[in-house]
Structure 1
Amino acid sequence: MFLVGRACGVTIERRSNYTANIIASAGSIFGRLFPFSSDNPVYISPLQEEKMNTLRCRLQIPFDGSRIEHQDALRQLWHLAYPTREVPPLKSELWREMGWQGTDPVTDFRSGGFISLENLIFFARNYPNPFQMLLNKVQGQRADWEYPFAVAGINISFMLVQMLDLQSTVPSSKSGIRFLELLGRDENAFDHLYCVAFRLLDAQWLVRRASYMEFNEVLKSTRTQLERELVLEDVLAVKDLPSYAMLDK
């Protein structure tokens, strides 16, 4: 059969090799039931599907250094990070101070896309104290060879996309299914989860006394911890995650 949906404002048809069960209540818009397992199907409400499609649209936008709005977003990030300093040219050695690998941040966005820059801006706007703490590495005893802040942020965005099965038609992991519930209640759930993940990564970095070569191991352990927390029964929003409390420190 065909399932009809919308992605990025365009109506699409998807051929399915299974029968979708349609559930409706009087006066409501139809929701959809997708098979996760024979005993535990996944129900996606119209609101969840709408918000998931919106998030997937964001994921499809690559970073384009030739677009004025993308250039402006980079300048905005600099202003949020260093409010008393003049924004440098888009190619400058000063960008290395934020944790970009070279003089041109554009080259670091290959895997992250524009959403990874949006995540950094959201972090700086909504959690300025932990953002500044992580940016300036002011907490704990640090390694001589530290992880680069901005590039780490791009890696976290990419890790969350994989962990939550956001590229799939319907998530197949328990954490991905739980995230659907959180997203249904808060359209910014992905961005808030990103902030939690960044703060958690830095905390684990300090506990391990890690250095740059161990970054992937710390990122992996961060993912494992988030997966454990996401499936806790009393987690109804990102703010219910145990690790969220670290954003207040």
Structure 2
Amino acid sequence: MTSQTLRRRLHHGDVDGRRNEHSETSGFDSLDEPLLGNGVYDGPHSEGYLLPEILDDGRRKEHLHWTILFSHIISQWAQWLANIVLGSGSFIGRLLPFVSGTQNGPNGKISPPLLSPLQDARLKYLKQRLAVPFDGSFLEHQDALKQLWRLAYPDRELPALKSDLWKEMGWQGSDPSTDFRGGGFISLENLIFFAKTFTEAFQNLLHKRDGNRSEWEYPFAVAGINISFMLVQMLDLQSAKPNTIAGVRFLEILSEDEMAFDNLFCVTFEMLDAQWLAKQASYMQFNEVLKSTRAQLERELALDDIYSIKDLPAYNLLLKR
């Protein structure tokens, strides 16, 4: 199937279930997750206690507080010992964040690890990138869109920033800047990184060259924005310090690879397309495919001996061609 093949494209509003919705936001930190729910059950409120019950409850809470505090100190000391004495790259150093943290609830929350200076610096830099909204009036952002076009279609003339030709890349309309909806400039950076680093894989996904495709295909560019967003949620990057299993494992990988988020984006895009083909999905199933992609990625990140993005089984999808 060539790039000239015409397909009926899915609008961005259909992808995330919010048709004709517009919002002004300031990056990933100010958005709710558009595709996957993240409801938290806070439990019932306690009412009607008598004074002795309240005092007993207070003593229990105080005892629990000191118990948790003592356990946290031991956990942090053990993590520090692993990082400083044994080295962050050792087997024990990689294992401790998972055994010292206690899982809580269905989201697999664990105690945040003690970060090395390198991890802390790279996490802060990544958060700075996540906080930058896309702004179509910025020359830097306009140039990035132009760069993406040149990478996607090196033999074609660059269109105006508002042109129906952008729809061929999988944008909703003639103005790509309207599709970010505050999703963040990093999602465009992710696409550019993919196109530059894994050129052949990028081109094959862009032009939907593999497998028997659906008549109604997912829009390539908009799918990329949603993947970036999903990764932010899955890796718990909106927290002060990630405390999900996937997020903690990502921090370990980040210490080995400054571009771990961008590399993970590329792997995830390949995973999504593979899921799409396996399910013989249509655009109405995009949310379902993205959820199953997230579940598969979480399983792979939890595997033993995952020290870099290249260790993920799905990384081979980028090299299969």
TM range (shorter): 0.7 to 0.9
Q: Partner residue of 1:115?
A: 186
Deviations 1:196-247 (A, max 9, x none): 0000000010000001010010000000000000011111000000000010
Matched, 1:55 2:95: no
Q: Taking CA–CA contacts closer than 8 Å with sequence separation of 6 or more, which of the two structures ends up with the larger relative contact order? A: 2
Q: Name structure 1 gaps, 5 residues minimum.
A: 1-17, 27-32
Q: Partner residue of 1:135?
A: 206
Q: Partner residue of 2:219?
A: 148
Whole-angstrom distance in 2 between the partners of 1:110 and 1:79 = 23
Q: Partner residue of 1:90?
A: 161
Q: Partner residue of 2:282?
A: 211
- Check 1:142–1:53 CA distance in 2 against 1; reply closer, same or farther (3 A cut): same
Q: Partner residue of 1:7?
A: none
Letter in 2 for 1:49: D
How high is the TM-score relative to the length of structure 1? 0.86
- Asked whether the 8 Å contact 1:99–1:149 carries over to 2, the reply is yes
Letter in 2 for 1:101: Q
Q: Partner residue of 2:236?
A: 165
Letter in 2 for 1:235: I
Whole-angstrom distance in 1 between the partners of 2:202 and 2:262 = 13
Task: Specify the SS of the correspondent of 2:159.
Answer: coil
- Check 1:78–1:186 CA distance in 2 against 1; reply closer, same or farther (3 A cut): same
Matched, 1:68 2:145: no
Letter in 1 for 2:175: D
Larger Rg: 2
Q: Partner residue of 1:102?
A: 173
Quote how far apart the aligned CAs of 1:40 are.
6.0
Whole-angstrom distance in 2 between the partners of 1:59 and 1:197 = 18
Whole-angstrom distance in 2 between the partners of 1:107 and 1:143 = 26
Whole-angstrom distance in 1 between the partners of 2:274 and 2:288 = 13
Quote how far apart the aligned CAs of 1:159 are.
0.2
Q: RMSD of the alignment, in Å?
A: 2.3
The structure with more helix, counted as a fraction of residues: 2
Q: Alignment length, in residue pairs?
A: 228
Whole-angstrom distance in 2 between the partners of 1:206 and 1:54 = 35
Q: Partner residue of 2:257?
A: 186
Q: Name structure 2 gaps, 5 residues minimum.
A: 1-68, 86-95, 104-109
- Asked whether the 8 Å contact 2:112–2:243 carries over to 1, the reply is no
Q: Partner residue of 2:318?
A: 247
Quote how far apart the aligned CAs of 1:110 are.
1.3
Whole-angstrom distance in 1 between the partners of 2:183 and 2:299 = 24
**Given the alignment, which residue of 290, 293, 304 partners 1:222?**
293
Whole-angstrom distance in 1 between the partners of 2:153 and 2:273 = 20
Quote how far apart the aligned CAs of 1:129 are.
0.5
Letter in 1 for 2:313: P
Whole-angstrom distance in 1 between the partners of 2:307 and 2:124 = 21
- Asked whether the 8 Å contact 2:130–2:184 carries over to 1, the reply is yes
Task: Specify the SS of the correspondent of 2:223.
Answer: helix
- Check 1:93–1:52 CA distance in 2 against 1; reply closer, same or farther (3 A cut): same
Deviations 1:6-58 (A, max 9, x none): xxxxxxxxxxxx787574859xxxxxx99844996622111101000000000
The structure with more strand, counted as a fraction of residues: 1
Q: Partner residue of 2:56?
A: none
Whole-angstrom distance in 1 between the partners of 2:189 and 2:101 = 31
Letter in 2 for 1:176: G
Letter in 1 for 2:315: Y
Letter in 2 for 1:202: D
Q: Which moved more, 1:235-244 or 1:41-50?
A: 41-50
Letter in 2 for 1:83: P
Task: Specify the SS of the correspondent of 2:114.
Answer: strand
Task: Specify the SS of the correspondent of 2:218.
Answer: coil
Q: Partner residue of 2:271?
A: 200
Matched, 1:43 2:114: yes
Where does structure 1 differ by over 2 angstroms across 4 or more consecutive aligned residues?
18-26, 33-41
Whole-angstrom distance in 1 between the partners of 2:145 and 2:242 = 31
Whole-angstrom distance in 1 between the partners of 2:155 and 2:210 = 22
- Asked whether the 8 Å contact 1:61–1:115 carries over to 2, the reply is yes
Q: Which moved more, 1:39-48 or 1:50-59?
A: 39-48
Letter in 2 for 1:217: E
Letter in 1 for 2:137: S
Task: Specify the SS of the correspondent of 2:216.
Answer: coil
